[in-house]
């Protein structure tokens, strides 16, 4: 189901440089052994005190995906898309390229339920904070990199959290647990390629804020 353009490079840094948000995914089933490898990468991540208070919900059920997917699409149509389309392009990108990205995001919003498998990372606690996020998002990044290494497309998204209670009820989460992302995974319709980011010199300082960085 993969081709030569989507086979994984051996070099870790090349994997990092080519782990793009893949929002257009095939409906083809993803083998359980590949999903397990992605989950194994997730639990290799660090967490505060190595307490590993994470849980991961693997979603394949079509009805659950339809329910949560409808909430996701509503969040895109009513809240996120109007804001993005009225704003400026992302840093380092042209208006045309930004619009293509929005079209891709819109495709995901209306087809996310067709992705063959989702992984939803969760943590316990009533009041999510930056500190708690530090114990789950490294696992998310590990999953994204692992998916790329396996030739699978994935993306980190949180749009559904505009309707958090409804989505988490559909996922069967207990009241004291919360989801931190939704990661749709599947074989990509497009090709992997280098990510586009602004130069380091625009976002890195030396010792104190505002002091120019020189590599």
Q: Which residues pair with 153 in a beta bridge?
A: 186
Task: Write down the pLDDT at residue 100.
Answer: 86
Check which CATH number belongs to the domain holding 89 and give it.
3.40.109.10
Give residue 113's domain range: 4-202
Decide if 125 is inside a domain. Answer: yes
Decide if 209 is inside a domain. Answer: no
Decide if 44 is inside a domain. Answer: yes
Task: Write down the pLDDT at residue 147.
Answer: 97
How confident is the chain (215 residues) per 10-residue block, as mean pLDDT? Answer: 52 92 96 98 95 96 98 95 85 82 93 98 83 92 97 96 96 95 96 89 94 88
Tell me the pTM.
Answer: 0.90
Distances (CA, A) of 133 to 45, 50, 54, 99, 212: 13, 14, 11, 30, 29
Task: Write down the pLDDT at residue 99.
Answer: 84
Decide if 213 is inside a domain. Answer: no
Decide if 210 is inside a domain. Answer: no
Length of the chain: 215
- How many CA atoms does the CB half-sphere of 17 hold within 13 Å? 7
Total number of domains constituting the chain: 1
């Amino acid at each position: 189901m993969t081709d030569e353009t989507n086979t994984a490079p051996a070099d870790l840094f090349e994997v990092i440089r080519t782990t793009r948000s893949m929002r257009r995914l095939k409906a083809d089933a993803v083998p359980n052994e590949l999903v397990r490898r992605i989950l194994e990468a997730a639990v290799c991540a660090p967490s505060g005190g190595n307490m590993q208070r994470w849980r991961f919900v693997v979603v394949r059920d079509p009805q659950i995906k339809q329910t949560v997917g409808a909430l996701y699409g509503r969040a895109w149509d009513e809240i996120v898309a109007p804001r993005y389309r009225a704003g400026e392009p992302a840093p380092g990108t042209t208006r045309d390229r930004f619009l293509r990205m929005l079209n891709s995001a819109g495709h995901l919003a209306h087809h996310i339920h067709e992705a063959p498998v989702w992984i939803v990372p969760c943590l316990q606690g009533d009041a999510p904070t930056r500190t708690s996020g530090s114990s789950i998002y490294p696992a998310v990044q590990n999953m994204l990199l692992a998916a790329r290494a396996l030739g699978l497309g994935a993306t980190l998204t949180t749009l559904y959290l505009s309707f958090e209670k409804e989505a988490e009820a559909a996922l069967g989460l207990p009241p004291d647990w919360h989801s931190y992302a939704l990661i749709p995974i599947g074989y990509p319709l497009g090709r992997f390629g280098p990510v586009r980011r602004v130069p380091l010199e625009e976002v890195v300082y030396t010792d104190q804020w505002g002091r120019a960085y020189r590599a």
